[in-house]
Amino acid sequence: MTSISIIGTGNMGGAIAGIAAKGGAEVQLVGRGSDQALTGDIVVLALPYPAVDEVIAQYGAQLAGKTVVDITNPLDFSTFDDLVVPADSSAAAVIAAKLPASHVVKAFNTNFAATLASGAVGDQPTTVLVAGDDQASKDALLAVVRAAGLRGEDAGSLKRARELEALGFLQLTLAVAEKTAWTAGFALVK
C-alpha cells in the first residue's frame, strides 16, 4: 500500500490528502511545525515556496530515500510579474539540489485546489501533470492520482518543472485577471 505524508494543511494540502485517501493510500496529514515523524514513502510539501526551506531544515534527514513532491508556484507575489527561481531552472530543481538523497517530483502546481477536490475542470477530468527523474516515484504518485479518479500524466524529466511552473504562473495571472475561474484553469484534453 502506498503511504503518503502531506505537510501543510491549507487548501492544497487538504485537497491532495483527499485524493490520496480516495486513491487508496495510507494518508498522514501534518501541519507545519509538527514534530510527528513522517510515515509516508511519498512526502508532499503542500506549502508555499518561501516555507519550503524551513521544512527541509526540520525534516531533511527524514526525507532521505523518500519521494518528495514539490507543488509550489514560486511567484514573486509582490509584483506578480516574475518567478523567484532562476529562469533556466525551477523550484523543483532548487529543492532537488537541497535534497540529494530524495527523489524530487513536481506535481499539482498546475491544478487549482478546487479542481483537485472536484476532479473536473469544466467538463474535462482534472489532469495532474507529474515531472521527475525517478520513474518509480512518478509511477507511484500517478497510480494514486488515477485510482482517485483523476487523470494523471507523466510530463517528463524534472527539467520540465520549468515549463510546469511557467504554466502554473500563467494560470495564476489569468485567474487574477478573471480570464479563468479559480475552480477551473487549463484542462488538458485527450
When the beta carbons of 143 and 167 are compared against its own copies, the nearer one is 167
Cell of 82: 516574475
Binding test (CB under 8 A) with its own copies, winner from 49, 59, 108, 186: 186
Using CA atoms, how far residue 174 sits from 21, 112, 177, 182, 185, in Å, is 31, 12, 5, 10, 8
Q: Which stretch binds its own copies (CB under 8 A): 28-36, 59-67, 98-106, 181-189?
A: 181-189
Binding test (CB under 8 A) with its own copies, winner from 75, 121, 128, 145: 121
Number of residues engaging its own copies in binding (CB under 8 A): 35
Taking the C-alpha atoms of residue 125 and residue 119, their distance in angstroms, rounded to an integer, is 6
The backbone region for 125, taken as left when phi is positive above 0, alpha when psi lies in -120 to 50, beta otherwise, is beta
Q: Which stretch binds its own copies (CB under 8 A): 20-28, 32-40, 80-88, 97-105?
A: 80-88
Q: Which residue shows C-alpha cell 487538504?
A: 14
Q: Evaluate whether 119 touches 20 at the Cβ level (below 8 Å).
A: no
User: What are the residues binding its own copies (CB under 8 A)?
Assistant: 81, 86-88, 121-124, 153-157, 159-160, 162-164, 166-167, 169-170, 173-174, 177, 179-181, 184-190
